[in-house]
Structure 1
Amino acid sequence: MTVSGSVVDSWTQVVSATTVPIYTVVNVAASGSGSSTQVTSWTQVVSAIIPGGASATQQVSLTTVPSKTVIMIQATAGTGSTQVTSWAQVVSAVTLGASSQRLSFTTVPSYTVINIPDTSGRGSTLVTSWTQVVETVSLSGTATATATQVPTSPADNTASSEDTYGKGATILRYSWNTEQTFLGTYLAVLIAVIYRMFWTVINNNFNLIEPFRRLNESNGAVAERALFSFYQAQSTLLGPLPALLKRRWALALVGTTYLVTCVMPALGSEAIYVDTNWGCTNPMEGPNPCQARMTADVTILRILQGLLAFAALALLMLISLLLLTKTGLPANPSSMATVASLMRNPALLDDLNEIPPDADTKNMRAALSGRRYKLDAYKTGTGELGYGIVPAYGNGQDEPNHSPGYAPLAGVARSSRSHRFRLTDLVLVLAVLGIFGVVLAYYFDGKHDGFNDYFSSNTFGPRFILTFAATIVASLWKTVEQSAVIVAPYTRLAHHPSSAKSTILFTPHNTTVLATLTAIWNRYFLVAIVTFVTLTAEGLNIVISGVPYATGQTWTQFLVSIYMSLGILGLMVVVSVLVVLSRRREPKMPRKPDTVGTVMSYLSTSKMLHDFDGVDWQDGEERDRRIRLVGKRYTFLQRRREDGKQAWSVDEVYE
C-alpha cells in the first residue's frame, strides 16, 4: 500500500487503510513500484524510509531476502551498511529524513506474538505469524520491539505485559508467562509432593499407634513385636519391609502406598512438558521448529492414574480398619507422659527392672522374648482401678518359653555410644553433596558432552532422575528430623533440670509445619531448623524438576529453578554438618528412645510415675494440666537403682 499527501509519522498509519485482521498477510508497496510485494516470511527485512519533505510520496519499502542470506541494511546516511548475520542481532536503525529520528527494532525469537494497535485506538491487531507486520512505534521517540516465547495458539492467551512508547504507540508482549510456566513445569510435581506429604503423615502416624493396636487385641501381643518395633523407630526408605517381616499386613499396605507416592513427583515431572517439535505445518530451523505448546505424556498419565487408584483403595481400607478397631489410647502416645501413664502396673515394672541397665535394644528384646502384654484395666495397690500395659501370661502359646529371670549379657555396656553415630546422617550428607555437585556442574557445563547433552535433551529421564533423587533426600531429612525431635527432650533434661512442659509433656508432630512451630514454641531451635529444612526439601522436589534445560523452556525459568535448587541444597549442606556436630551433645544413653520398650526402660525406676495416679483414663489435655500444676522439675541422669546398679532415668529433681 502507498500513503500519499502526508508525512508518515508512525507505523500505525501504514496499516491505517485497512486494519490487519488476525492471520492476515500484509501487502506493502515496494519502493519504485506500483505493485505490491507480499510479506510471506521472516526471511524478509522491513525498514521505513521517509524520503524528501512533507509533500513527497511516503511509502514503505522492503527487500525480499532468501533464507540463510546475509542481510545488508543501510545505516545512518554516509556510514555504509551494517551486516546482519543472524536474526538474533538488532536490525540497525534507519535515519528518517531531515528529522534524524531513529526507528529501531529487534528481531524476535521464534514463537513470538506481538499486538499492534490499529489507528482507531480501539485496541490492537494480534500478530500471530512472521507473515504479519512486526511493530508499531511513534517517531517522536525510539522504541525497541521486545518479545518472548508463547506456548500455544495466541487466541488462547492474553497479554502478559503492556509497554507504551512515544505518543501512544503500544506494544503488547505475549509471553510464556509465569502462570503458564508454573502450570507446564511445576504444578503436576507440586500436587504429587503434597500428596506424598499427606501419605508420609499417614505412614508415620500408623507406625506410631501400631504397638498399641497390637496391645489392644484380645490376647495382647508378644513383647518383641509390640514393645520393640515401629512406634517412632521408623525408616521411611524401607517402606513396607519391616511390616512384612512381622506380618503386619495393614502397616505393610501403608508402607507400600507411601513408596508408591514417593515415585509420583518424579513421574509428575515428566507428565506435562513444553513441546516444540510436534510436527507443525511450517517448521522453522533450529532446536525449536514449532510454536511451543504444553503436552501431556499419555503413558505416564495412565501410570499415575493407576497409582492414584491404588492409593485411594488403600486409604478406604485403612479408614475401614480404623473404624472397626480401637487403639486403646487415651492420648497422643508420642510424649513421655502418655507412656508413663500406661506403665504403672507393678508386674510390668518388675519385668523391666529385671533387665540390666546397660542393655541395648537387642538385648532388651531378647530378655522379654515370649512375654505377652496387653492394654487392660487392673487394680492398683490402693485398690483403685487403673489402666495401662499389663502382663498377659497364660493367654498364648508363648507362655512355656517365659523365663522369670534375665541372664546378663557380657559386654553390652560397650554399646552406650553407638546410637550417637547415625548412618542416616552420613547417607544424607553424601546424597545432598552429590545432587549439589550434579546441579552445579550442569550449570557451568556449556560443552556438547554426554553429561550436558543428556540433561538438556527433551527425552524421558533427566527430570525424573533429579526429582526422584530430591524425593530420596526429602525422605532422609524426614528420618533425621524425627530422630532430632525424639532425642531433644532427653538432651535438655541431661544438661539441666527442666519443667514438664517442654520435656515429659513435649508431644512431637509428624506434620512438618506443626513440628516446626512446636519446636519453636518449646525453644528447641536446632530442631526447628531441621524441621524447616525438611520442609524446604519438599520445595526442592518441586523446583529441581525445572533444572534440565530442554527445548521450549524459557531462560528465566531455568535460572529460577537452578538458583533455588542450589540455594536449598547449600542450606542442606550447612544444616547437615550442624546435625552431625549436635550429636556430640546427646547423652550417652545405651538405647535410642524410639520404641515403647526403650522409653519405658528410662521411666521404670522413676518416682515421677506416682504423679500419674488417677490420670489413666483422662485425655492428654487434662493430664498435662494436672502435671503442670504439680510444678516439679525433671532431669535425665544416671541414678543408682535399688539393686545398686547405675541406670539412666528420667526422674524428678530431688531437693
Structure 2
Amino acid sequence: MFKISQAPSPPTFSEPTSYQPIAESFDNPHSPSIARPSRSRSILSQFGSLRSSQPSKQSRYGRLRDEEEESRKDGAQKRLPDVEEHGDDESIDFDVTGFEGPIAWRIASPRTRADSEGTDDWEHGGLAAEYNRLESRRMPRKLGGGMESVLDAPFLGRSDVEEITQHRGSSAPNPHVRENAQKVAEKKGQILAVSEEPVIDISSFGGAEYESRNALNAFAQGSNGEANKSYYFPPDLDMPSWRPASMHWSYISVLVFIAIALAGLQEFLCQVSMQRAKEDPPSGLLTFKRPVELSLLDYFLYKYAPIIVLVSYGVLWQAVDYDIKRLEPYYQLSKRTGATAAESLNVDYLTFWSWLAPLKALRFRHWAVAYSSVGTLLAGGLVPILQSASVKLYPEMEDRRLDEDKFVRINPAWSRPLSVALVMVAICGVLLLFQLRRKSGLLSNPKGIAGIAAMATRSHILHDFRGLDTASHQAIHKQLKKRRYILHKSSLWQGEYIRQASRTDTIAPKKPENPHPLTLTLKAGVPYIIFMFLFLVAIPVLMFVPNANIVTKTLPFLLTAIATCIKFFWNTIDCNVRMIEPFYVLSRRHAPARTLTLDYTGTMPGWLAIKALFNGHFLVALVALGAILTEVLTVCVSSFNVDGKKFFVVDFVDGDDKTEGDHASSDETFISFWVSFGLAFITLLYLISVASLVYACRRHPFLPRQPGTIASVLAFIHQSKMLLAFVNTERMDSRQMTKHIEKLGKTYALGWFRGRDGEDHCGVDEEEILSEYKHGVDWTKGRLLGGHIGTWDHY
C-alpha cells in the first residue's frame, strides 16, 4: 500500500489572502515563487498536496470557496473558514521540509483534538483507500498486498502519536519510542509504521520547486517503506508452531532417556567387571578360551552391539541437529520484535563446520543450536571412540595362551569418561527441551525456494535486496544490517529500523567469496581424498606388517577416531550437496516446477538416498549412501586391534577353526575378522570414488554465491516475475504448493532474466530467461540495449 509521507508541501494561496507576508519573510533568491494552484493537475499531484497537511494534525487550512473567489474580484477579503487567523505579532512555526528538510510543522494555535483526529483520519483514510482501489484494478495480483493493512503513524490521532514522535531523531533506537509504538500497535491490533526523521543540514532554507517535485516518487517511497521507517506488530495470539518430528518433545525426551539409560548401564557393567576381576579365581563379563566357544548372540552382544547402538544413537541426534540448524532463523524471526539480519536472514549453520558450529551459535546466543551441536558432537563423535577403548580383553596379548581363559572386562579409565559424556548428552537434551518451547511461527515445512518466496510476497521486504543479485554475503549483510526483520502471520516483514547497530548486529558472516562451500572445492577435496587413501593403505599395514600393530595396542581408539573424522567431513559434504542440488538443476535450464519445492536438507539420512534415487538425482543418492557407509566403517574399524597375520590360514576340525597363526588367542574369529576387514576396505574405496565424482561434477561454480541463507535466496528472486504466482500462498504446505505451481505449466531456470522493473537481473525465474549464468561474466555489461544507442558512453 502506498502510504502518505510525513514531508508536507507548503500551502499556496492567491495573493489577496492574509498569509501573504509569510512568503515575504523567506526572502531567498533560491526559493520558489508561489504560484496559484492549478486545477488541471494530475490526481497524483493532488494526492501529494493533500498529504502535506498531515504531520502536525493541529491546524488545517480550509479550501477557498467559489463565493470567496468572486468576492476577491471586488477587492474584499474574507476570512478563511475553519481557520483562526493570527496577528502579525504571532509567530508561526513553519515547516521547511519542502525546502529539503524534515522538520515537522506546527501552527501556534492548535485546533481541538476532535476536529484534528476526525478530519485527518477521514481524509487520509479515504485517500489511501482510493489509491488502493485504483491500484487493485491495474494489478489484481500484486506483491506487497499485506501493506494495505499497515497503519501509518500519521493516520493516528495526536494522543497516540505524540509520544511516539517526540523522541525521534536520536542516534539510536529509543526504548521509550519502541515501547510506546508497540503499545499503539497492540491497542489498534494492526501493524504500525513509524518514520524515523533523518539528521540533516538545514543551513540552507532554499528549496526546490514544489510544483516540479514528482508526486510519483513520493508515493513510491511510501509504498516501498522508507529506509528509515520502523514497523511494529501486534502480538499474534494464534501463532503457529509447526516443527518436524525430530524436534518434538517426545522425540527429544526419548533421546534423553536413552542417554541416561546407556550411562547407567555402562557404569553398572564397569562395577560388575571390577568386582569379578577381584574374585578368586578372577573372571570378567565374559570368559572363554577361544571365541568360537561363545554363542552367536553372546559374541554379537560383546563385539558389535555396543558400537552399533552408540553409532545409531548418534544418527538420531544428527536428525535433530539438521532440523534445528535449518529452522533456527525462523525461530529468531518469530520473536516478538523479530531479529537482525545477522541473527536470522544471514545465518547458515548447515554448510558450516560441524565442530565449530557451537562457537558460532554461542556468539549469536542461539542456544538451541549450541545445545544440539554439542549433543551431536558428543553422541556421534566422542561416545563411539570412548566405547571402543573401554572394552578390553585380558590378559594382555603377549601373555595369552591358546588353552587359557580369556576375560572381557571394562576399563574404568575409559568407562567413566564415557558415562560422563552420555550424561552431558542427556543434559543437552534437557536444555534443548526448554529452548524448543518457543513457537516457530511456521504453518508447515518451508521447503525450497518456493517456501521462502511465498513468505516474501505480502510485505515490501524484497525492496531491501535491490542491487544484490550477484552480491557477496558481506555486501548483503552490509545492506541489511540497519533493520530488524520479523516473521508475522507466516510472512516475512521489515521490522524496526536500527540507526546505530549494536556489536552483535554488525557481525558480518565470515563466508568465502567462492560461490561453493569450502568442502566442495578442490582446496578441501584433494586433501580429503588423499587422507582416505592413506587410511586405506594404513589399515592392512597395521594389521599385517610385523610389529606395526603396536600402534593399535597403545592407542586402541585410534582407528575409530580416524573413521569418526572421515564421517564428520563426509556429513559436511552431504549437507552441501543436498543444499545446492535444486540450484544445480535450475542452472541446467527448463527445470520442472517441483524443483522450487525441492529440499533435501531436512530429510532423514536413511530415507534421503531412496528419495533422491526416485527423483533421478543420482549423485545425491550416492553421497547419501556414503553417509550410511561411514557409520559402517566406524563399526568395522573398532575391532582392528589384533594381529592380522594369524588369520591367513584356517583349518576346520570338528566345527571349530584352528589356524597355524593361533588367531584363537584373540577375540576375533576368522569370519568376523575378514568380514570387518572387507567391509572397511570396500567402504573406503566407495567413499574415494564417490568423492572424486562429486568434485568432478560439482566443483565448477554455477552460482553467484552460496545459497545457504534466507537472504541469499531472497536476493536471487527479488525481481522475479514468478513471484506473482506465490501471492496468497504463504499458508500452503509443500504438497499444496507443488500442485499449485505445477498447474501453471511453467519451467524455471537460474540465470539472467528481465525483471519486473524492466532491468536485467541474475537469479531464479520462469522460462524463458535471457541467458544462463556463467561465473565471472556480467551479462548486463556485455549487452547493448536500444536506449543506450546515441548516449555519451556508446558512440
- TM superposition score category, shorter chain reference: 0.5 to 0.7
Residue 399 (1) aligns with residue 499 (2): yes
- Find the counterpart in structure 2 of residue 183 from structure 1: 301
Residue 493 (1) aligns with residue 583 (2): no
Q: Tell me how far apart the structure 2 counterparts of residues 525 and 268 of structure 1 sit (CA, whole Å).
A: 35
What TM-score, normalized by structure 2, do the two folds share?
0.53
- Find the counterpart in structure 2 of residue 305 from structure 1: 419
Q: Tell me how far apart the structure 1 counterparts of residues 757 and 514 of structure 2 sit (CA, whole Å).
A: 22
Of residues 146, 152, 176, the one that matches 2:287 is 152
- Find the counterpart in structure 2 of residue 533 from structure 1: 626
- Find the counterpart in structure 1 of residue 188 from structure 2: none
- Find the counterpart in structure 1 of residue 542 from structure 2: 442
The amino acid that maps onto 2:690 is: V
Q: 1:602 aligns to what SS in structure 2?
A: helix
Q: CA deviation at 1:628?
A: 2.5
Name the CA shift for 1:427/1:227 in 2 (closer, same or farther; >3 Å).
Answer: farther
Aligned ranges for residues 16-415 of structure 1 at < 5 Å? 152=287, 175-230=293-348, 232-261=350-379, 262-276=381-395, 286=400, 290-322=404-436, 324-355=437-468, 357-377=469-489, 387-394=490-497, 398-400=498-500
Q: CA deviation at 1:277?
A: 5.0
- Find the counterpart in structure 1 of residue 687 from structure 2: 572
Deviations 1:340-375, CA, capped at 9 Å, x for gaps: 1112244211101243x2211122112212321000
- Find the counterpart in structure 2 of residue 59 from structure 1: none
Q: Is the 1:393–1:399 Cα contact (8 Å) retained in structure 2?
A: no
Deviations 1:600-633, CA, capped at 9 Å, x for gaps: 1112121222212222123333233322333321
Query: How many residues end up aligned between the 2 structures?
Result: 453
Q: 2:743 aligns to what SS in structure 1?
A: helix
Name the CA shift for 1:424/1:315 in 2 (closer, same or farther; >3 Å).
Answer: farther
Q: CA deviation at 1:555?
A: 4.5
Q: Tell me how far apart the structure 2 counterparts of residues 500 and 434 of structure 1 sit (CA, whole Å).
A: 44
Q: CA deviation at 1:416?
A: 5.6
- Find the counterpart in structure 2 of residue 519 from structure 1: 612
Q: Tell me how far apart the structure 2 counterparts of residues 440 and 650 of structure 1 sit (CA, whole Å).
A: 50
Q: Tell me how far apart the structure 2 counterparts of residues 609 and 515 of structure 1 sit (CA, whole Å).
A: 29
Q: Tell me how far apart the structure 2 counterparts of residues 354 and 544 of structure 1 sit (CA, whole Å).
A: 52
Name the CA shift for 1:495/1:593 in 2 (closer, same or farther; >3 Å).
Answer: same
Name the CA shift for 1:597/1:348 in 2 (closer, same or farther; >3 Å).
Answer: same
Q: Tell me how far apart the structure 2 counterparts of residues 535 and 625 of structure 1 sit (CA, whole Å).
A: 32
- Find the counterpart in structure 1 of residue 27 from structure 2: none
Deviations 1:85-143, CA, capped at 9 Å, x for gaps: xxxxxxxxxxxxxxxxxxxxxxxxxxxxxxxxxxxxxxxxxxxxxxxxxxxxxxxxxxx
The amino acid that maps onto 1:574 is: S
Q: 2:731 aligns to what SS in structure 1?
A: coil
Of residues 545, 552, 572, the one that matches 2:638 is 545
Name the CA shift for 1:300/1:346 in 2 (closer, same or farther; >3 Å).
Answer: same
Q: CA deviation at 1:232?
A: 3.4
- Find the counterpart in structure 2 of residue 425 from structure 1: 525
Q: Is the 1:331–1:338 Cα contact (8 Å) retained in structure 2?
A: no
Deviations 1:171-207, CA, capped at 9 Å, x for gaps: xxx5345433322222211111111111111111111
Q: CA deviation at 1:582?
A: 1.0
Deviations 1:65-88, CA, capped at 9 Å, x for gaps: xxxxxxxxxxxxxxxxxxxxxxxx
- Find the counterpart in structure 1 of residue 550 from structure 2: 453
Q: CA deviation at 1:580?
A: 0.8
Name the CA shift for 1:415/1:274 in 2 (closer, same or farther; >3 Å).
Answer: closer
Q: 1:498 aligns to what SS in structure 2?
A: coil
Structure 1 residue runs of 4+, over 3 Å off?
176-181, 231-234, 284-290, 399-402, 412-420, 502-510, 640-647
Q: Tell me how far apart the structure 2 counterparts of residues 542 and 388 of structure 1 sit (CA, whole Å).
A: 46
Q: CA deviation at 1:417?
A: 7.2
Q: 2:347 aligns to what SS in structure 1?
A: coil
Name the CA shift for 1:256/1:641 in 2 (closer, same or farther; >3 Å).
Answer: same
Name the CA shift for 1:286/1:213 in 2 (closer, same or farther; >3 Å).
Answer: closer
What TM-score, normalized by structure 1, do the two folds share?
0.64
Mean CA deviation greater in 293-302 or 467-476: 293-302
Q: Is the 1:276–1:552 Cα contact (8 Å) retained in structure 2?
A: no
Q: CA deviation at 1:415?
A: 5.1
Name the CA shift for 1:585/1:522 in 2 (closer, same or farther; >3 Å).
Answer: farther
Q: Tell me how far apart the structure 2 counterparts of residues 257 and 365 of structure 1 sit (CA, whole Å).
A: 30
Q: CA deviation at 1:558?
A: 2.4
The amino acid that maps onto 1:593 is: P
- Find the counterpart in structure 2 of residue 475 from structure 1: 568
Q: CA deviation at 1:233?
A: 3.3
Q: CA deviation at 1:427?
A: 4.5
Q: Is the 1:639–1:647 Cα contact (8 Å) retained in structure 2?
A: yes
Q: CA deviation at 1:228?
A: 1.2
Q: Is the 1:500–1:627 Cα contact (8 Å) retained in structure 2?
A: yes
Q: Tell me how far apart the structure 1 counterparts of residues 515 and 600 of structure 2 sit (CA, whole Å).
A: 26
Q: Is the 1:343–1:389 Cα contact (8 Å) retained in structure 2?
A: yes
Q: CA deviation at 1:544?
A: 0.9
Aligned ranges for residues 557-568 of structure 1 at < 5 Å? 557-568=672-683
Q: CA deviation at 1:529?
A: 0.4
The amino acid that maps onto 1:182 is: F
Q: Tell me how far apart the structure 2 counterparts of residues 289 and 249 of structure 1 sit (CA, whole Å).
A: 57
Q: Is the 1:276–1:289 Cα contact (8 Å) retained in structure 2?
A: no
Q: Tell me how far apart the structure 1 counterparts of residues 764 and 597 of structure 2 sit (CA, whole Å).
A: 9
Mean CA deviation greater in 189-198 or 224-233: 224-233
**Unmatched 5+ stretches in structure 2:** 1-284, 503-510, 644-664, 770-795
- Find the counterpart in structure 2 of residue 583 from structure 1: 698
The amino acid that maps onto 2:441 is: G
Q: Tell me how far apart the structure 1 counterparts of residues 725 and 426 of structure 2 sit (CA, whole Å).
A: 44
The amino acid that maps onto 1:273 is: K
- Find the counterpart in structure 1 of residue 736 from structure 2: 622
Q: Tell me how far apart the structure 2 counterparts of residues 315 and 487 of structure 1 sit (CA, whole Å).
A: 30
Deviations 1:209-256, CA, capped at 9 Å, x for gaps: 110111001111111221111353332132411112222223212222
Q: CA deviation at 1:503?
A: 4.3
Q: Tell me how far apart the structure 1 counterparts of residues 499 and 471 of structure 2 sit (CA, whole Å).
A: 23
Q: Tell me how far apart the structure 2 counterparts of residues 530 and 646 of structure 1 sit (CA, whole Å).
A: 36
Name the CA shift for 1:516/1:418 in 2 (closer, same or farther; >3 Å).
Answer: closer
Name the CA shift for 1:434/1:503 in 2 (closer, same or farther; >3 Å).
Answer: farther
- Find the counterpart in structure 2 of residue 77 from structure 1: none
- Find the counterpart in structure 2 of residue 592 from structure 1: 706
Q: Tell me how far apart the structure 1 counterparts of residues 513 and 432 of structure 2 sit (CA, whole Å).
A: 42
Q: 1:211 aligns to what SS in structure 2?
A: helix
Q: Tell me how far apart the structure 2 counterparts of residues 390 and 422 of structure 1 sit (CA, whole Å).
A: 39
Q: Is the 2:563–2:634 Cα contact (8 Å) retained in structure 1?
A: yes
Q: Tell me how far apart the structure 1 counterparts of residues 449 and 767 of structure 2 sit (CA, whole Å).
A: 16
Q: CA deviation at 1:507?
A: 4.5
Q: CA deviation at 1:637?
A: 1.4
Q: 1:649 aligns to what SS in structure 2?
A: strand
Q: 1:203 aligns to what SS in structure 2?
A: helix
